[in-house]
Amino acid sequence: METWKLITGAIITCAVLGLSPFLFQRLGWVRPLQQNAWIVVLVTGFGLLVKLYIADRASDGEFLFYKFGYDNCIVSFGAILTALSLQLQSDKDLFPGLSSVTALAAFPRNVRLFLLLLAALVTSLATAHIAGDIKKNKLDDRSVWSFANAIIGTGMLGTYVLVLITKG
């Protein structure tokens, strides 16, 4: 068992969850956070750390960075799908902060979340293919592809945080 890999995954998760809101504010992508936004980020962080631990137990202590990236994409896909589903049922904008994200500002509220969902789907598919090829030994698990999966998954985790903190 390589505990340092699990600890590294936990540190990456905490760093993305803790630092993304500051980065997004600095970039002007989000308005100042609501007073209770940190509770949502903390609860989400706790849940993701529990997920990391459970996944590590399920794999018998074999933490795999390429799988970590894929898992983050799938978690983000599920969260953004839920956000879009809630938004489609509402008459008001549930994620008003997304309108301040420059790349999304020109789109209607439902389309913003749909585009994020599409990004989560594409990254989930891409990281799944890479993870599958690594598992089948078509790619080396210590290759640039494994690193790419971890980076892509971390980026999607940041997107998940963006959706969380833009909730009205």
Residuewise pLDDT in 10s, the chain (168 residues): 578 888 998 999 999 988 888 888 888 888 777 777 788 888 999 999 998 889 888 888 888 888 999 999 999 999 999 999 999 999 999 999 898 888 898 999 999 999 999 999 999 999 999 999 999 999 888 889 999 999 999 999 999 998 988 887
Sketch the domain layout of the chain as residue ranges.
Answer: 3-165
Tens of pLDDT, residues 6-24: 899 899 999 998 888 888 8
Sequence-ordered list of residues with C-beta below 8 angstroms from that of 6, at least 6 positions apart, any chain: 52, 53, 56, 61, 63
The amino acid at 65: F
